[in-house]
Amino acid sequence: MPGIRKLHIKGLFSILKSPIEAFDVMRHQGEGSLVLATVLYVLFFACVVAGRQWTGYLFNFSRVEHLNIFIMLALSLGLVFLFIVSNMAVCTLSDGEGSLSDVYVVTAYATLPFILLSPPIILLSNVMSLGENTYYGLMNIVKYGWFVMLLFTGNMSAHQFTFKKTLFTMFLSAVGILIMLFMMFLGFALVTQLTEFLRTFYNEILFM
């Protein structure tokens, strides 16, 4: 698809107002940028880390001694990228029109409400008490719900799918993620066993 590489900040914010229209405009007039998308991914990860580290004590159950930036990376961005690959794989087979860079950009733009809502939620969590637990939960639901909604609409317009078909491919993408994870663990286990075998083999020869 030609011309999707244009940097257009205004188009980015219009997806908050009318997502379906904005994604369609972005697609047809080429207002999506890989650079901006990458920046958004970095900001998204920054928000995840900030949420873990700076959320107020009353709502923060993470433990300092368990902090592992790589696991956090795998659980946030890693999962998003797995989704992109899986979605690409599924949609190529079901005649989706979007290219890999389209999905990459559209998914990045979908994280926008997450990035915008995270800082105020983190700030508010520091001045809220457990009595306002419900509001805190509601804000988080909005944050994640909006993200998922945009992910869905963005995907729909990137591939030029109908609503039903998007629902179906989304489900298949989720299954695809599970299959990929399974393969990864399988490969990991195999490599471990192989190295273990070679090590024993080496030891056997050493003492023969």
Partner 1 sequence: MKKWVALLLAAIFILTPVTAIAGQPREAAFNSYVFNQHGRAVPAPASYLPLFALSGEAWGIGPLRNPSDVTAGPDGYLYIADTGNNRIIVLDENFALAEVIDAFTMNGEPFEFSHMSGLFVLPDGRIHIADHELRRVVTVDREGTVLMYLGSPESELLAEGFLFTPISVIEDPSGILYILSRGSYQGALMIDLQRDNLFLGFFGANTVAMSAGQLGQILWRRIMTREQRERMVQIIPVEFTNFDICPRGFIYVCTAFSEDNIGQLRRLNSNGDNILRTPQVNIPVNYGDPVFYTSRYVPVTTSFVDITYMQNGVFAALDRQRGRVFVYTADSHMVAVFGQIGDQLGRFANPVALASFNDTLVVLDGTRGEITAFGRTEYGELVMQALALHDQGRYEESVALWRGVLARNINLELAYLGIGRGLSRSGDLQGALWYLRRANNRQVYSEVFEMHRNQFTNDNFNLFALGFALICLAWIVFAQRKRIKRIIGRGRTVYAGD
Residue 18 found at the interface with partner 1 (CB under 8 A)? no
Q: Which of 2, 131, 204, 208 binds partner 1 (CB under 8 A)?
A: 131
Rounded-to-integer distance, Cα 109 and Cα 154, Å: 8
Least distance in angstroms from the C-beta of 127 to partner 1: 7
Q: What are phi and psi of 60, to 5 degrees?
A: -110, 110
Least distance in angstroms from the C-beta of 59 to partner 1: 9
Of the candidates 137, 126, 160, 121, which has an alpha carbon nearest to the alpha carbon of residue 26? 160
CB-nearer residue toward partner 1: 17 or 63: 63
Residue 62 found at the interface with partner 1 (CB under 8 A)? no
Rounded-to-integer distance, Cα 83 and Cα 108, Å: 12
Least distance in angstroms from the C-beta of 159 to partner 1: 39
Rounded-to-integer distance, Cα 206 and Cα 182, Å: 36
Site string for partner 1, 63-102 (x = CB under 8 A): x---------------------------------------
Residue 127 found at the interface with partner 1 (CB under 8 A)? yes
Least distance in angstroms from the C-beta of 129 to partner 1: 4
Rounded-to-integer distance, Cα 172 and Cα 46, Å: 29
| Number of residues counted as binding partner 1 (CB under 8 A) | 7
Which residues lie closer than 8 Å to 119 by C-beta, 6 or more apart?
47, 50
Q: How far is CA 65 from the centre of its chain?
A: 25
CB-nearer residue toward partner 1: 86 or 125: 125
Residue 130 found at the interface with partner 1 (CB under 8 A)? yes
Rounded-to-integer distance, Cα 77 and Cα 83, Å: 10
Q: Which of 25, 43, 58, 172 binds partner 1 (CB under 8 A)?
A: 58
Q: How far is CA 45 from the centre of its chain?
A: 9
Residue 57 found at the interface with partner 1 (CB under 8 A)? yes
Query: Helices 163-206 and 79-93, interaxial angle, to 10°?
Result: 120
Q: Which of 53, 62, 94, 129 binds partner 1 (CB under 8 A)?
A: 129
Per CB under 8 A, residues contacting partner 1 are 57-58, 63, 127, 129-131
